[in-house]
Amino acid sequence: FLNNEPAQLDQFDILANRNFRQIRANKWADLNNVADVAGMLAAMHLGGGNVKYMVNHGKEPSDPNGTLLSTYYSQKGAVMCGICKT
């Protein structure tokens, strides 16, 4: 799997689509705001189910490197949107 880029991309697409459906169903992002959606997808990629905890409790865990989900959300959302501000 690690040497099979097409298989990795397929799995990433599956994960991203599943995460997007969860974002939409739970109304965790403004679907009209590209930076919000991109940031939330990035946070979910990093934190998985911890995003639900962050949204519901206003607290967030970090990854093993100490990166907070909100940091990932802000950085990736802004990059994906280009000139948008998150």
Q: Above pLDDT 90, what percent of the chain?
A: 28
Q: What is the pTM of this model?
A: 0.76
- Other C-beta atoms lying within 10 Å of the C-beta of residue 82: 8
Over residues 72-76, mean pLDDT: 83
Q: How confident is the model at residue 86 (pLDDT cuts 50, 70, 90)?
A: very low
Q: What is the pLDDT of residues 17-38, one digit of tens each?
A: 999 999 999 898 899 988 889 8
Residue type, 69: L
